[in-house]
Amino acid sequence: MIVMKAALMFPWMKMLLQQVDLINFLTTLCQTITQPRLSVVFCDNYFTSFKLVQHLDTSLGVKCIGTVRPNRTGGATLMTDKELMKRGRGAFDYRSAEGVIAVKWFDNKCVNLLSNASGIMPLSTVKRWSKESKAKVMIPCPSLIPAYNEHMGGINLSDMLVHLYKTPAKSTRWYLPLFGYMLDLSIANSWLVYKRECGQLNQKPITLKRFRLAVAHSLKQVNKPASKVGRPSSSSPPPPKKRYTPRPSQPQPDVRYDCFGHWPLHCDKRGRCNYCPKGVSRWKCQKCNVFLCLNASQECFAVYHQKI
């Protein structure tokens, strides 16, 4: 679904997919489904066709529901938009052949769908605003419409999370916006997985903004050169003195308490302990980049990395 959605956002990818067989393209993606007989694929009108729905069922056993363009319904003779709109809001028409049903439903406008996983019955109702009565009214709705709206909502949620803190990557080079989108999408999906695991552990998850900051802080520490241990040799010239030493940034909670890679480094210069207010130490955490007491009387190094 990531590639499918990206094709709708970037015209160059859309042109590329027009040159390949969409049926083989989606078949290759669906081959990774572990339980095809129990799975349903949801597509938008760019990918859905009568041949696609049949091919996924016969070759892989995967059912499919999706909106479809009028010229891809497999020749189904459905009512025209004008005829359906005369019947009023909530009217629908359908035809079925070879295990596939084509449905046209009138809501705010007419929409066409193909399905071999769900049909018309049982009919449900949805609330819509009526200009005539100036209130919300109930209109009939085929059963495959709520199923499509429910599962395609994941794409809408993904778009919302990506655009909340979108990476500014405007450029004449086509691959830079694509790289920014894939990066934002990966962070949003990671945050959703993290949020689900916090729910299983009965913990309160951090917000998406703080999660992005934590990821940025962790990436900033990658391949960072470690501080030199021991005294400098007599042959090498002494380093220039700095008038002002900025205070090191505080590590993110997930970095501080991950219990991985926190090694003590002995430094030539002493620094103020980051845990106790009066402590001064020559020991620094290699990963957190902060000074911590490490002696017989003060064990700030161990206490600092333990979540209370």
| Buried-state track 221-234, b at ≥16 Cβ within 10 A, e below 16 | eeeeeeeeeeeeee
* The two three-digit tokens of residue 218, written as one number: 């962790």
The DSSP result for the chain, as a single string, is -HHHHHHHH-HHHHHHHHTS-HHHHHHHHHTT-S-GGG-EEEE-TTT--HHHHHHHHHHT--EEEEE--GGGSSS--PPPHHHHHHT-TT-EEEEEETTEEEEEEESSSEEEEEESS--SPSPEEEEEEETTTTEEEEEEE-THHHHHHHHHHHHHHHHHHHHHT------SSTHHHHHHHHHHHHHHHHHHHHHHHHHHTT-PPPPHHHHHHHHHHHHHTTTPPPPPPSPPPSSSPPPPPPS--PPPPPPPHHHHTS-SS--EEEEEEEEE-SSSSS-EEEEEETTT--B---SSS--HHHHHTS--
Q: Mean pLDDT, to the nearest integer, of 20-48?
A: 81
Segment among 15-24, 71-80, 102-111, 257-266 with least mean pLDDT: 15-24
Q: How confident is the model at residue 234 (pLDDT cuts 50, 70, 90)?
A: low
Contact 292, 283 (CB under 8 A): yes
Half-sphere exposure of 222 (CA within 13 A, CB side): 6
Q: How confident is the model at residue 98 (pLDDT cuts 50, 70, 90)?
A: confident
Per the prediction, the chain carries an average pLDDT of 79
Q: Mean pLDDT, to the nearest integer, of 117-124?
A: 84
pLDDT at residue 233 tops 70: no
What is the Cα–Cα distance from 200 to 174, expressed in whole angstroms?
A: 40
State the pLDDT at residue 231: 61
Burial category of 121 from C-beta neighbours within 10 Å (exposed 0-12, middle 13-18, buried 19 and up): exposed
Q: How many Cβ atoms sit within 10 Å of the Cβ of residue 10?
A: 16
Q: How confident is the model at residue 162 (pLDDT cuts 50, 70, 90)?
A: confident
| Of 129-143, 195-209, 255-269, highest mean pLDDT | 195-209
State the pLDDT at residue 147: 85
What is the Cα–Cα distance from 136 to 118, expressed in whole angstroms?
A: 27
Q: Mean pLDDT, to the nearest integer, of 211-239?
A: 71
What is the Cα–Cα distance from 70 to 116, expressed in whole angstroms?
A: 17
Contact 44, 67 (CB under 8 A): yes
- The percentage of the chain sitting over the pLDDT mark of 90, rounded to a whole number, equals 0
State the pLDDT at residue 244: 54
State the pLDDT at residue 4: 44
Segment among 15-19, 153-157, 267-271 with least mean pLDDT: 15-19
Question: What confidence tens digit (pLDDT) does each residue in 133-145 have?
Answer: 788 888 888 888 8
State the pLDDT at residue 19: 39
Cut 0.85: pTM above it = no
Listed in sequence order, the residues at least 6 apart from 147 whose beta carbon sits closer than 8 Å to its beta carbon are 65, 117, 118
State the pLDDT at residue 47: 81
Q: Mean pLDDT, to the nearest integer, of 35-64?
A: 86
In one-letter notation, the amino acid at residue 194 is Y
Name 113's bridge partners.
Answer: 67, 103
